[in-house]
A and B are shown apart, each in its own frame.
Chain A
Amino acid sequence: MKSGVSSSGSKRHVVLTVNGKKVEADVDDRMTLAELLREELDLTGTKVGCNRGECGSCTIIIDGMAVYSCTTLAVEAAGKEVVTIEGLGSGKELHPLQKAFIEHDALQCGYCTPGMILSVKALLERNPLPTELDIRTAIDGNLCRCGSVPNILEATLEVSRKMAEKKRS
């Protein structure tokens, strides 16, 4: 039994896309998306720091929007496109944000990091040239106790600049 949850009552069959792949699962109504990802699909990159939508470490992207997976019901993710941290980069090649986070030391203990990267990714997809204030606002729901915020801002600004240059050339 993968999830550590006993089934009492009927389960619901959900189909969704996770990191570009079709996923099917039988879930209880009470299951959150974070629980589905971590317990059923073994995608533990998404963290749960408070389970109340107050810390941001469970942040994932649904249909292009950064949301708290701990406060999203699994049944409501049916038919949606979900992106978790595992969906960034491809095999050996890291995503530019991941590379920049490493270069700028935009992480320390790393627990807020998957959520941070996804919040920033969602931002860059709708606003490719954000100001520093735009970035701070995009991650205003991601707490970092280790103090990586200044480096996260630097990393994100660098990636957006590089992406813009690439577009121009």
Chain B
Amino acid sequence: MAESKLLVKGAVPPPLDRELTVVGKPLNRRDAAEKVTGQAKYSGDMKLPGMLYGKTLHCPHPRARIVRIDTSKAEALPGVMAVLSKENTKGWRTSWYEVPELAFPELITHEGIEVAAVAAVDVLTAQKAIELIDVEYEVLTPMLDAEETLKAPPPALIADEEYPGREMFDRKPFVIQRGNLEKGFEEADVIIEETYTTQVSHHGTIQTRACIASWDGENLTVWDAIQGVWNSKLALAKSLDLKPENVRVMVKYLGGGFGSKAWSQRITYYAARLSMITGRPVKMERTRSEEFINHSRRYDTKMYLKMGAKKDGTLTAILQRAIVNTGAAATEENYYCRQIIWHTANLHACPNVYLEQTGVYTNRQTTGPTRSPMNMQAIFALESHMDRMAVELGIDPLDFRMKNYATYQSVGTAEAHLTGDGTTTFAAKIPYSSKILDECMKLATDAIDWKKRSRAPVVSQSPVKRGMGMSSYLVLQGVGLFPYVAEAKVRIKHDGTINLYVGVVDIGGGQKTILGMIAAEELGVSSDAVTVIIGDTQDTPYGPSCHASRCTPEMGPAVLQAAAEAREKLFEHAAILLDTDHKRLGSKDGIIYVKSDPRRSIPFKKACQNMGVDESIVGLGSRAPNPAEPMMATFGAQTVELEVDTETGRVTLLKCVAAQDFGKPINPKLCVSQVYGGIEFGVGFALTEEGLYDPKTGKLLTGNLSEYRMPTPLDFPPVEVYLPECEDPFFAYSAKGAGENTNAPTPAAIRNALYNATGVWFNDLPITPDKIIRAMREGTKGVS
């Protein structure tokens, strides 16, 4: 291993000094057997004795005030054990992703916010009780479209007390600038401007949110469908005025998160409070339509880009103005003020930029983490525009990107999250911890036979045209973001059992397997020898929520350190048995041996037996904060070959190639699965998914999976994946994050391939058949 820059607190583990035997192997997913047999119990599958069922009543208006709410008939219904509303929960706050919200606000700021919750002996009674609740609303005019909203002054009746912090970003432009934009455009031989729009989209997890909360008079136990147990535990404790040690949160299996379940949301708090009132466990589950109208979504955006470049392809200037419809967001935790422009500033090297991003508060649903929350939109616009420029310049899109390859980053992660001052000048040259984007671009284009790509759209008689396109990207890694603590514990017992305790959740990305493999490698045992205790705040140290693709990069070093510490302690026992100094020992494949003379060895288990029967060895690990430099990001490129029927608008994806720089995959099999997942999202976002609202009332019309069109297996393209490797000493075994770094480039690659096929630039997502047909008729560019 390279000299240790590994971000751990305290002593850096000594290097392994041997080839890897576990990390890098395509081992089977640990929890696969339970999942394929149906034995895995997700939160909605669980039942507890005496359990009550909860249901919620939500407001059908995007903007309204509760004039009167009468729950008396519901309370009187036999079988109803408790009812909550604003009447009996004054001042009670829950929290969503750091944002404190009133549990039952009087002022409703988006459709779907709850106005009451009931707990009853069975589901039918709970449903009946909900129907008996009488609510009178004053329906207010909602703010819906971002641009329209910007034209009018902010309405007087904004619910400031419910959404503290909105004033930090609402209608406020945040700017990243460097160099001299005017001069940059003067130097340009070619200048192109264009506007791109992206739609509302949803996470579409197959499991909807479901939880059970159980209060026994002193302790609150919660089973939930969430991506983080520790953040939920602390948030629940705070909201319910409990000591954190009296709150336990568990997630053994999660049916998809993608950010929507970054931590507990309102129904968990309701269930907990109802359980505390009734003394019985309370189960609450969202229906699919509730999941759509109540939950977070991906923000719709409008992005204007103007780029200038010299004849030889050197970028000289980028001007961007992005408007983001943030919905009823609050504080910068719901909305990342610079996330779009950060990507524009950093993907390609351009000395002069002026990039502006404005969030607009409206009465649409808010957001939170959403698989590449604004990266996806940003990359779509940027990489689409790069191709536009390339064509105008007469330069191959691959060559154009290589020409402007960014060897340095100019805006760091921390800066991306600055609030306060709107305009910031970033002229830094921050090196990367690792970056092989050029290799990725080469791989992705070679694999699709890029040379075959015609420079100009092919003129042929057939209405079915073929084309190829590419996109590159970088992604702001979540790593090192608040709250930042990532800890791990390893315990080795006298009988040889090894437990790894990690306070994170396996959200389907294989975190359980990956972290177990890291521990196993460091300890020198097989992966099977390590039992991973995960998804439970009991017995585990603090772990971050598994979003922002942060789990492997943040927990990796902590797990590595914990395992190494435990190993070194065990070596002290082994040293006695092998009659040598513990510093001379190594371990591999379950054997502890003297490095200079490997024949002198003992089995791992034997060393353990040297402990006292009731003794155990504990190793602890903790990740250190990110340094100011270098910049940590992941990169990649994707290429797409497709056919489009210009008369029917039908797009058939023939092949997608993805070349992703994740550093080094701990488990390539699981990494490839992540790439497939990203492409699923990317294809849907590019071609079929759209959240539609009624223009008059602002109500969501696509609250089901028939209208919210996620790719079916017949829409999923053939995919080839390349995972080129590079060293990155800041991460355990050079493993960076993977989850979100796979869906950002797909839409631009598809759109650029469509241009290559048809000669039409599609700048408005999703590119549905109607847009293609209309564009072919109009002969210029695709408009909505």
Touch A–B, Cβ below 8 Å: yes
Question: Could you list which residues of chain A lie within 8 angstroms of chain B, going by C-beta atoms?
Answer: 1, 3-6, 8, 38, 42-52, 54-55, 57, 84-86, 88-89, 94, 97-98, 101-103, 105, 107-114, 117, 135-137, 139-152
> Is the pair A94, B206 in contact by a Cβ cutoff of 8 Å?
no
Q: In the complex, how many residues of chain B place their beta carbon closer than 8 angstroms to a beta carbon of chain A?
A: 65
> Is the pair A102, B29 in contact by a Cβ cutoff of 8 Å?
yes
- How far is it, in angstroms, between the C-alpha of A50 and the C-alpha of B676 when the chains are bound? 23
> Is the pair A6, B28 in contact by a Cβ cutoff of 8 Å?
no
Partner pick for B508 among A85, A97, A109, CB 8 A cutoff: A109
Expressed in whole angstroms, the minimum distance between the Cβ of B243 and any Cβ of chain A is 32
> Is the pair B669, A105 in contact by a Cβ cutoff of 8 Å?
yes
Candidate in A46, A52, A142 with the most chain B CB atoms within 10 angstroms: A52
Partner pick for A105 among B28, B122, B704, CB 8 A cutoff: B28
Expressed in whole angstroms, the minimum distance between the Cβ of B151 and any Cβ of chain A is 37
Question: For residue A49, which residue of chain B has the nearest CB?
Answer: B206
Is B40 an interface position by the 8 A CB rule? yes
Expressed in whole angstroms, the minimum distance between the Cβ of A30 and any Cβ of chain B is 9
> Is the pair A84, B206 in contact by a Cβ cutoff of 8 Å?
no
Expressed in whole angstroms, the minimum distance between the Cβ of A62 and any Cβ of chain B is 17
Residues on the B chain within 8 Å of A150, using CB: 676, 716, 718-719
Question: For residue B672, which residue of chain A has the nearest CB?
Answer: A105
> Is the pair A105, B38 in contact by a Cβ cutoff of 8 Å?
no
List residues 499-537 of chain B with CB under 8 A from any CB of chain A: 507-510
Chain B interface mostly helix, strand, loop or mixed?
Answer: loop
For B643-678 the 0/1 string (1 means CB < 8 A from A) is 000000000000000000000000001101111111
Expressed in whole angstroms, the minimum distance between the Cβ of A44 and any Cβ of chain B is 4
Question: For residue A52, which residue of chain B has the nearest CB?
Answer: B704
Partner pick for B680 among A50, A117, A145, CB 8 A cutoff: A145
Q: Known: A5-B122, A143-B705. Is A86-B32 also a contact (CB below 8 A)?
A: no
Partner pick for B207 among A38, A43, A49, A88, CB 8 A cutoff: A49
> Is the pair B673, A44 in contact by a Cβ cutoff of 8 Å?
no
List residues 555-586 of chain B with CB under 8 A from any CB of chain A: none
Partner pick for B29 among A107, A112, A135, CB 8 A cutoff: A107
Is B478 an interface position by the 8 A CB rule? no
Q: Known: A44-B45, A109-B207, A110-B255. Is A149-B705 also a contact (CB below 8 A)?
A: no
Question: For residue A84, which residue of chain B has the nearest CB?
Answer: B38
> Is the pair B36, A55 in contact by a Cβ cutoff of 8 Å?
no
> Is the pair A145, B714 in contact by a Cβ cutoff of 8 Å?
no
Is B59 an interface position by the 8 A CB rule? no
> Is the pair B122, A86 in contact by a Cβ cutoff of 8 Å?
no
Partner pick for A144 among B38, B79, B672, B713, CB 8 A cutoff: B713
> Is the pair B36, A143 in contact by a Cβ cutoff of 8 Å?
no
Residues on the B chain within 8 Å of A54, using CB: 288, 704-706
> Is the pair A149, B680 in contact by a Cβ cutoff of 8 Å?
yes
> Is the pair A46, B79 in contact by a Cβ cutoff of 8 Å?
no
Residues on the B chain within 8 Å of A52, using CB: 288, 704-706
Candidate in B28, B39, B705 with the most chain A CB atoms within 10 angstroms: B705
Question: For residue A85, which residue of chain B has the nearest CB?
Answer: B38
User: Can you offer 21 A-B residue contacts whose CB atoms are under 8 A?
Assistant: A1-B122, A44-B38, A49-B208, A52-B288, A85-B37, A86-B37, A94-B37, A105-B669, A108-B510, A108-B673, A109-B205, A110-B35, A111-B256, A139-B713, A145-B677, A148-B673, A149-B676, A149-B713, A149-B716, A150-B716, A150-B718
Residues on the A chain within 8 Å of B79, using CB: 6
Candidate in A46, A108, A109 with the most chain B CB atoms within 10 angstroms: A109
Question: For residue B258, which residue of chain A has the nearest CB?
Answer: A145
Question: For residue B126, which residue of chain A has the nearest CB?
Answer: A4
Partner pick for B38 among A45, A143, A149, CB 8 A cutoff: A45
> Is the pair A38, B256 in contact by a Cβ cutoff of 8 Å?
no
> Is the pair B712, A143 in contact by a Cβ cutoff of 8 Å?
yes
Residues on the A chain within 8 Å of B680, using CB: 144-147, 149
Residues on the A chain within 8 Å of B507, using CB: 109
- How far is it, in angstroms, between the C-alpha of A98 and the C-alpha of B39 when the chains are bound? 12
> Is the pair B206, A148 in contact by a Cβ cutoff of 8 Å?
no
In the complex, besides A102-B33, A107-B29, 5 extra interface pairs with C-beta distance below 8 angstroms are A6-B124, A43-B38, A48-B44, A85-B36, A108-B29
Question: For residue A35, which residue of chain B has the nearest CB?
Answer: B123
Residues on the A chain within 8 Å of B719, using CB: 150
> Is the pair A147, B678 in contact by a Cβ cutoff of 8 Å?
yes
List residues 116-139 of chain B with CB under 8 A from any CB of chain A: 121-125
